Amino acid sequence: MERTLIIFKPDAVQRGFVGELISRFERKGLQIVGMKLTQISPQLAETHYQAHKGKGFYPGLVRFMTSSPVVIMALQGKDSIAICRNMMGATFGSKANPGTIRGDYGVSNSYNLVHGSDSPEAATRELGLFFKPEELIDWTPAVQPWVYDLTKGTPE
């Protein structure tokens, strides 16, 4: 099972979407293996978004991500990175399809509600930034056989 990092950004927290967004991921069949409400420090935001350092939007992004509490989740599931990226929708809310998180709740090209890892390598790096190993829980939900076809021993 693949793991990914999801951040409900300050705009999602301030707009009261946390419960709704958690529900969307859970209803899809993704498993929460770690979650916390936190205030990201400027240093952590700079480290997390270091790939964007030097770009014009970088200082505003760091300010935005440190402006309010965020909810950080580690989700697990078969192909969880691709599934979460599809659920989030296009980066800009104004261009995101209805039915996606950004398409249903976003209109801004700056405030886009949610971050999700974009690759297995990024997920490993990002999970390590936001969670200590002991904060991620290995467990098997009782509903798992109803989410995945496990008749061959691996999730289908």
Active-site residue flag, 48: no
Of 9, 48, 102, 115, which one is the catalytic site residue?
115
How does 29-63 read in b/e, with b if 16+ C-beta sit within 10 Å? bbbbbbbeeeebeeebbbebbeeeeeeeebeebbe
The phi, psi pair for 99, rounded to 5°, reads: 100, -20
Active site positions, annotated:
115
